[in-house]
Homo-oligomer: A and B are copies of this chain.
Amino acid sequence: MLKHGILGLLNYGSMTGYDIVLIFKDSLSYFWHAQTSQIYRELHTIKKNGWATDETIVQDGKPDKKEFTITEKGREELRRWLSEDNIGLKIRSPLMMKTFFRGEFSLEENIDYFEKLKHESYGFAHKMTVTPPDTEKYVRLINDPMKALYWKMTIEYGLMYSKMYGEWLDNCLKQMEELKNENSDN
């Protein structure tokens, strides 16, 4: 999956591993987290598969860099991956896994836990609503308004998700508070 994400970026234009690291960190982090070491490893595989070629560029005052360029074979692989019948949702939600077993702790402890989640979720929601990923930058760079449509759709997903998540947290807290009050009433 990450391999194909990198291939998708290379398809916009040649770039170095470092460029890709920064794009993931600055602009794609709201839907994909990738480690630096992983990106460099995948670039090796991409080259080995003949999906990209690399060229070392000597700079002065700065370390050498290695620029990767997608090949026709790489472009074909990108399109193959996009066309794949992918769905057979293999869901894995660490958040739900932990929620499911919360019964191990007391209501009070769990209220604290959910308050903490709520606090942390504000960070994400804030980033998404107040400073949403700047697609304009890429629109100017790539200059293809059709591509921007899909970028915007991923941002909308991020917004809708963070809203839903916040509502779920409030709902959970409400239910726990109610139970707590019932318990203290008898």
Query: In the complex the two chains form, is A82's CB within 8 Å of B96's CB?
Result: no
Number of copies: 2
Interface string of A101-145 (1 = CB under 8 A from B): 111110100100000110010001000000000000000000010
Contacts of A4 in B (CB 8 A): 97, 101
Residues of A in contact (CB 8 Å), total: 62
Bound-state CA distance A153–B99 (Å) is: 8
Bound-state CA distance A120–B88 (Å) is: 9
Query: In the complex the two chains form, is B164's CB within 8 Å of A97's CB?
Result: no
Contacts of A167 in B (CB 8 A): 160
Interface residue? A18 (CB, 8 A): no
Bound-state CA distance A160–B100 (Å) is: 16
